[in-house]
Structure 1
Amino acid sequence: MRNTDAIEQLAREVEQHPDYKVLRRLQPRRSFGVWDGEEGVVQVAIVDTETTGMNADRDEIIELGLVVVAVGAQSGLAFEVLESYGSLEEPRGPIPPETTRVHGITDAMVAGQRIDDLRVEALLKNVGLVIAHNASFDRRFLEKRLPVFAGLPWACSVKDVAWYEEGFGSQKLDYILMQCGYFHEAHRAEADCLALLEVLQRPLEKAGGVAMRQLLRASTQKSYRIWAVNSPFEVKDDMKAVGYRWDAVMRCWNLETSEGALEEELQRLKLLAYPKRPAKISVEVLDARVRFSDRPGIREERVI
């Protein structure tokens, strides 16, 4: 068998050919750079879960991965992985075969296993931000299983990073990683956390800086969910076409937007749904402590 240096040389030669792309196995790093002493440092927790299904109301976590990393508070540059933790957990019932096909976790693997609640709480003690790749999924499951997560601000590396604008064809973690030239053991929680950390240290050509910086900025900004109360039935297709989503519980169309775009979006809603009369709608204020969770933000009525 050829030695590693020789294989790497072959890989570099193949990379020079336009018809080939080389993927290297990701070797997760624990140390990234030296703190210069000038920039403030914040502890960030990157989390990932594997579950028995997609519904947080009835399904359960069967694996948790958690990586705590020190990053520059302004730059987002990682300095050091401070802690990492991974654990399986036995659910109340059998794991559905269709979910085992996704993550490879079987009933035998989780038998007798339990997440250490106290260990997780200790790891999160000094954390200033929790990050997940699709936080709307992980946050709901984690707050149900480990309430300590409800008291922390969250950011989402799917929604809070402009991957499409940066030229990526998908927001999926394994796709982004492959575009960066790597592959890893996907759909295992701790491995996904370490892979996401590497991706978030990738410089973004258009936005500038690393992707982690965008998440730190997003966590300090408010967003707003507009609830189009009593909008006419006949405009439902138009509402959907411009990005509004139907909430079956509230029985109302809604759209999340940024602070800078709020007034413009309210004007568009006025023309779209209520052009001939004043209408009382609701605007929900979302910050990093409630965003991506099932808990509501503060709501206020507006007349448009």
Structure 2
Amino acid sequence: MEKSDSTLTVHDFPGRRSAAFTVERPTSIPQLDGGWPWHAGQTGVSHTIDASIIDRAAPDLERMACLLEAAGDFRILRRLNPSWIGTAPCRSAPFGIFLDVETTGLDPSNDTVIELAMLPFDYTMDGKILTVGEPFVRLRNPGLPIPAAVTALTGITDEMVVDASIDPEEVMSFVEAASIITAHNAKFDRPFCENLWPVFASKPWGCSYREIAWADEGFEGAKLCHLAAGHGFFFDGHRAADDCRAGVEILARKLPRSGQTGLAALLESARRPRFRVRATKAPYVLRSLLKSKGYRWNDGDDGHARAWFIDVEVANLEAEFSFLRREVYGRDDIHIDAQKITAWDRYSERC
């Protein structure tokens, strides 16, 4: 690496391409410490630069980021800026809500909500997001001390919620006209919401975590932060409103392999009914076989039978019955429990 007052020339490391490129020093970025704000061969070097300087330098910084991306040896993450989506409601289109909650713990029977965030969006039936509206963000006093681990994760303290409450009528007004509720891990969010606000039990739900084939699209993980990085951006996580904004942005973007938007994939999945097949009283010695076929164990705490279960598409239902009768029960006349599940009750404690 060579540097001067006006240019920075970067050469590839030995063994890589022999090309080199030169970056002109952006005139809007002042020199620091008598030179560039970076130094050859050093890592972890940081400087404090006035925000107004960064604002003036933004076009130059973006050109530099594009240049690094073009080199092929760098991946650039940009801070989430969803302002490209319009904010005026489209009255002729259906609208959905991306929802996230922060809670005192993981068990909806013992824990409760301390923050509710909802972000409304208008969309077309084929999954294009048209506009995004103003968010609904409220804190709530859970009636007990917030665990230290939750405060460390979310930044929400007892002092912040001491006088906070969420008006059920306000939630009803915000949600009642929505066509679908979406969440990233709806299996977690839906039971908490239904415990406090009955309107959520009357809505179809979709899950951006489970109902999009992220691995098939080339993503290394399905956590919201991993998906954001895969789409080239980052965001301030662990507060409900930030997660909602990131979730809508991810749903609005096209998937890299199928070419459809994330929302289109989610809607296709949410519209399809499935059957929850329960292998009740399956022999204990066959648990490994069932696990290898994708079955999961339900311990009965949710009021349903203690059994191995799997969710299957309608087209695969008879094949699943045949597998159980042949490989698990060894008889053809046995009744197999199969519950039809749609978006109206999927991810709830009713199934």
- TM-score exceeds 0.5: yes
SS, match of residue 264 in structure 2: helix
**Letter paired with 2:275:** Y
Residue 314 of structure 2, aligned match among 219, 243, 259: 259
**Letter paired with 1:53:** G
Q: Does 1:279 align with 2:334?
A: yes
Q: 2:198 — aligned with what?
A: 147
- Tell whether the 8 Å contact from 2:89 to 2:122 is kept in structure 1 after alignment: no
Q: 2:283 — aligned with what?
A: 232
Q: 2:107 — aligned with what?
A: 55
Residues 72 and 34 of structure 1: is their aligned pair in 2 closer, same or farther, counting only changes over 3 Å? farther
- 1 or 2, which has the higher strand percentage? 1
Question: Per-residue CA shift, 1:201-243, capped at 9, x if unaligned?
Answer: 1112333321101222222211110011221222122112211
Shift of 1:35: 10
SS, match of residue 349 in structure 2: coil
Q: 1:10 — aligned with what?
A: 64
Q: 1:132 — aligned with what?
A: 183
Alignment partners' CA distance in 2, 1:134 and 1:153: 14
Q: Does 1:66 align with 2:115?
A: no
- Tell whether the 8 Å contact from 2:250 to 2:262 is kept in structure 1 after alignment: yes
Identical-pair percentage: 32
Question: Per-residue CA shift, 1:247-295, capped at 9, x if unaligned?
Answer: 1112211111111221222222222201245322210010111100001
SS, match of residue 265 in structure 2: helix
Q: Does 1:270 align with 2:325?
A: yes
SS, match of residue 308 in structure 2: strand
Q: How many equivalent residue pairs?
A: 293
Q: Which moved more, 1:46-55 or 1:224-233?
A: 224-233
Alignment partners' CA distance in 1, 2:342 and 2:200: 15
- Tell whether the 8 Å contact from 2:87 to 2:134 is kept in structure 1 after alignment: no
Q: Does 1:157 align with 2:232?
A: no
Shift of 1:182: 0.6
SS, match of residue 150 in structure 2: helix
**Letter paired with 1:25:** R
Alignment partners' CA distance in 2, 1:89 and 1:262: 43
Alignment partners' CA distance in 1, 2:167 and 2:118: 12
- Tell whether the 8 Å contact from 1:226 to 1:283 is kept in structure 2 after alignment: yes
Residue 219 of structure 1, aligned match among 240, 265, 270: 270
Shift of 1:21: 1.4
Alignment partners' CA distance in 2, 1:233 and 1:181: 46
SS, match of residue 268 in structure 2: helix
Q: Does 1:101 align with 2:152?
A: yes
Larger radius of gyration: 2
Q: Which 4+ residue blocks in structure 1 deviate beyond 6 angstroms? A: 33-37
Q: 1:112 — aligned with what?
A: 163
**Letter paired with 2:173:** A
**Letter paired with 1:289:** W
SS, match of residue 280 in structure 1: coil
Trace 1:29-44 onto structure 2 (pairs within 5 A): 29=83, 31-32=85-86, 41-44=93-96
Alignment partners' CA distance in 2, 1:227 and 1:191: 38
Shift of 1:34: 10
**Letter paired with 2:181:** V
Alignment partners' CA distance in 2, 1:187 and 1:34: 27
Shift of 1:116: 2.7
Unaligned stretches of 5+ in structure 2? 1-52
Q: 1:169 — aligned with what?
A: 220
Shift of 1:171: 0.6
Trace 1:280-299 onto structure 2 (pairs within 5 A): 280-296=335-351
Q: Which moved more, 1:90-99 or 1:6-15?
A: 6-15
Shift of 1:30: 6.7
- Tell whether the 8 Å contact from 1:89 to 1:115 is kept in structure 2 after alignment: yes
